[in-house]
Amino acid sequence: MKKIILIILAAFPCWINAQSAGNAARIVTIQPKENARRDFELGYKRHLAWHADNKDSWAWFGWQVIGGDDFGMFIDGTFGHAWEDFDRPVAPAADAADNAVNVTPYATFLNISHCIRMESVSNDASLESRKPSALIEWHRYEIKPGNEIDFENILAAYHAALLKEKTPRRHAVYKLVNGGSQPSYIVMFPLEKISEIGLSENGMAEKFSKYKDEKSLQKVSSVILRNVSSILRYRADMSYIPE
């Protein structure tokens, strides 16, 4: 009987933390403290080892921001979830305790946000399939309140325009649900090399002009408050993908 109980207890954490298929994501923005980047990276790697030791079923991707307003920050994220997954993180109290020892002495957590991938205007699911690209070109669009439907129509038109290209660009769109300026959307372009940034030389407005979509072209300037762009470099050594 004792042996059976031990087997059940050993299996329980894996069951309770099992990841479901879905389009929800959690994205965390971290600022390493001044002169503590090396200590932060070493501590963060120790924390990822904790996740591995505790058989976390969630994948955690890490990126260093190498260009844009958030230059120098570290972003981690977990993707491909059902919302209910976030009710079942692996050993949350122990996770927080390990973070307090290994990460927070060397960094400040600036933001935790939750997003949903917009399937109808995306043609890339590399993060959900746990196959991250070397780089991500990241655009965060802040929209005038009350203009969500107009902007989502713009995204649909942009998606259609990108698919018309000879080599359609891979792109994924996430709608911010909680944790930041609302309404906001994130458009991610997976890249394999820096030179591919040049593919954005002709952006959203230029695409609408090229395909003579005057309606969408006129709406772009009237509904977008701000477009913040960044380049993220994937850090495989600061990521955790369970087998």
Q: What is the dihedral of CA 81, 67, 184, 132, to 10 degrees?
A: -20
Q: What pLDDT score was predicted for residue 126?
A: 98
Query: Considering the entire predicted model, what is its pTM?
Result: 0.88
Q: Give all strands (DSSP E) within 6-133, no chain letters.
A: 24-32, 61-68, 74-81, 107-117
What pLDDT does 17 receive? Answer: 55
pLDDT per residue, tens digit, the chain (243 aa), is: 434 333 333 444 444 556 567 999 999 999 999 999 999 999 999 999 999 999 999 999 999 999 998 999 999 999 999 999 999 999 999 999 999 999 999 999 999 999 999 999 999 999 999 999 999 999 999 999 999 999 999 999 999 989 988 889 999 999 999 999 999 999 999 999 999 999 887 777 777 777 667 777 777 878 999 999 999 999 999 999 998
pLDDT at 228: 93
Joined together, the tokens standing for residue 203 give 């952006």
Cβ atoms < 10 Å from Cβ of 17: 18
Contact between 134 and 191 (Cβ < 8 Å) = yes
- Tokens at 148, concatenated: 């969500």
Angle at 161 between CA 179 and CA 187, to 5 degrees: 15
What contacts 24+ positions apart, CB below 8 Å, involve 174-178? 174/25, 174/115, 174/116, 174/117, 174/118, 175/115, 175/116, 175/118, 176/113, 176/114, 176/115, 177/24, 177/114, 177/115, 177/116, 178/113, 178/114
- Give CA–CA dist 207/213, Å, rounded: 8
Q: What pLDDT is attached to residue 9?
A: 35
Q: Could you give all domains of the chain from N- to C-terminal order, each with its CATH number?
A: 19-114 (3.30.70.100), 119-232 (3.30.70.100)
Q: Which residues pair with 111 in a beta bridge?
A: 29
